[in-house]
Structure 1
């Protein structure tokens, strides 16, 4: 019995119908089908974010059809046959059926086709080579995609080595999809091919690698995937600084934040964290957070007093403090009772501004210059040590200046 998608609001939405009507007005009924993640996720009851459509129409006809229907058409990937239609403020990525003419492990030269089997044959995994018509009827060209999705199996289409040599990024995609959708042990043939061909990942751009790592780290539970990556030598190939320890598994239970999870793979060394993040072209905010967390870690203990915690937040910033606390929490099992109060303190306390400045120092007879900076630094250190008193600043500043003159 054929599988069918049911209860999918995106499938019955007027915006979706408008796109399918536009394509069928140009190419006739059946010229377009939903493909990939939207079909897979709908089958297994997972959220559907992106709606991809495959079509027998060539890109120029796709663009013409979309515009003729009064919809916005954006040639987002025209070199590879992709046009994005915007309907009801939602993007629909529409790609012409393709077959590979040649590949170099990084980029592919494609030719358009009207053969659905050829298009399915060039896709990465069987659970991604699923199509559905506008009525929700599923087409499973490999004959195993529906079963794989239901069972949590991530299996390459055809020969794993062939698929990987077409694009070495598929090694990381295997572990990423296993992290999100896999259950049980990873597919043995896929794992063996990933292990054998891992050196080919050096051909990949840092940007493509980092995007896959970010998605992998964002999975609900990426532990099994990281263990498999480590055992296959893939983790060392993309992130040689990484050390997979029990802290990573603990971090996964503590936080959904991929930055926190990644931080537990790296040594507590700001320079190493910054170098790794820069090499992989992680977003600047990731790079800075990883470096700041490593830099702050030595100043943060889970048994620190509230006053010590406020001092660390003031000096290093709330985000770095929270990241360092979560890292310390992951490295010390059973420390929830210590970590959670520190995180609540960080969330609730607003660091005050330094209550004195150069003007107040000058009023007490200190000539503007380097001594002003030294006085303010000494005042700030004492103010922090006293846990940020709210008053008495002028008297404290006067005593400090008198002591320095004496």
Structure 2
């Protein structure tokens, strides 16, 4: 018998009470990512539970046990149980009645195998008894997990026809968990790549950004490019972009910096395409601005000067994309210019353009000097030059 390891997430506060309210392992099992990640020895973030009880019964059982129940997706069988350690999604076993590539009409069932059959990949169709930890595998998911193989359940083309997003999920899971692509799955994704055009840009964006920070993102993006997978939605991606992404990933790794999706997207699409790509993927305004600024270059003033002018996060993006070292920014907080316009007026400058121009000159010299705390000499020189220019005007 294969069983879940006894890890911390299984003892989260309130989880035992939730399982008891649902009738124990006979009627409720852990499913999906929690089971997969636990077997791989990875941290488990979200817990999902599948149950034989219909949604209304789940609501009744949770409320009777004093557990807050939120009908977040009750039409599709999902109730969010709010326990002491956080939310847990509880979903009634389902089977697909009809699908159109974006949405599914489901019916409820009490058959674990039927529920497993509607899931995307074998490694995501693993269930575990919450009491004993016993793992239930209906489609060879354990073997695929051991081989790091991402394999569709059943016919790959049919699974993609049911939900087109599974094309991108195939590659995201390959980048995160896989070693080699399943040949049938890769062929099906290649054949049906135009199905991606039917998806909302928000769904494409979310999957792409998750893929970009995965373990083997560079190799998988290169594979997708070779097979024409992303051309219908991101035609800007080319071999040069993949090379930039590879260089960025290498720099991040060498400096011990975690991958960042927006920064990596900037490398992948190149500076000339960031405006169009940001709009097409419907990025937030903040992410669009960051994407557009990331490839603007670093200049020759040095990392801290750049961080002072554009902010530490923006400077780090630009430096990493340029392959430059960022360690001088670790823990550094840009200081404030230690002189004000009022101080310059008190020294005889006229309010208005003269003060603004002199402040800029002082700031430039202060930055070039390495942000010294005392800048009397810099201020004296700049004010003297300003007064001399004013008197000769």
Give the TM-score normalised by structure 2.
0.89
What whole-Å deviation, never above 9, does each CA across 1:149-207 have from its counterpart, x for those lacking one?
A: 11111111111111111111111100011111101x21111111111211111222222
The runs of 5 or more residues in structure 2 that have no matched partner are 253-257
Deviation at residue 13 of structure 1 after TM alignment: 5.0
Q: Which residue does the alignment assign to 1:334?
A: none
The CA distance in 1 between the partners of 2:54 and 2:210, in whole Å, is 31
Cα RMSD of the aligned pairs, angstroms, is 2.3
Match of 2:339 among 356, 363, 376: 356
SS of corresponding position for 1:356: coil
**2:189 paired with 1:190:** no
Q: Give a deviation string over 1:5-39, Cα, whole Å, max 9, x none.
A: 23234335563221111011xxx861211111111
Equivalent position of 2:78 in the other structure = 82
Distance 2:25 2:173 in 1: 32
Secondary structure of 2:89's partner?
strand
Moved more, 50-59 or 363-372: 363-372
The equivalent of 1:288 in structure 2 is 289
Answering whether residue 248 of structure 2 is matched by residue 251 of structure 1, we say yes
Q: Which residue of 1 aligns with 2:67?
A: 71
User: What SS class does the counterpart of residue 253 from structure 1 fall into?
Assistant: helix
The whole-number CA distance in structure 2 between the counterparts of 1:394 and 1:179 is: 55
Corresponding residue for residue 230 of structure 2: 235
Deviations 1:69-102, CA, capped at 9 Å, x for gaps: 1112121222211001122323221111111222
The 3-state SS of whatever aligns with 2:237 is coil
2:213 to 218, 221, 228: 218
Distance 2:120 2:348 in 1: 74
Contact 1:379–1:400 (8 Å) recurs in 2? no
What is the CA distance between 1:363 and its match in structure 2?
A: 3.0
Are 1:158 and 2:154 counterparts? yes
> Is the Cα contact below 8 Å between 2:218 and 2:242 reproduced in 1?
no
1:275 corresponding residue in structure 2: 276
> Would you say 1:112 and 2:112 are equivalent positions?
no
SS at match of 1:34: strand
Equivalent position of 2:165 in the other structure: 169
In structure 1, the partner of 2:95 is 99
Residues 320-348 of structure 1 show CA distances to partners (whole Å, capped at 9, x for unaligned) of 2221221121xxxxxxxxx44xx222225
Partner secondary structure for residue 249 of structure 2: helix
List alignment gaps of at least 5 residues for structure 1.
Answer: 330-338
The structural deviation recorded for 1:350 is 3.6
- Counterparts of 2:357 and 2:284 in 1: how far apart (Å)? 36
What residue number does 1:335 align with?
A: none
In the alignment, which of 127, 135, 139 is matched to residue 131 of structure 1? 127
Partner of 2:194: 199
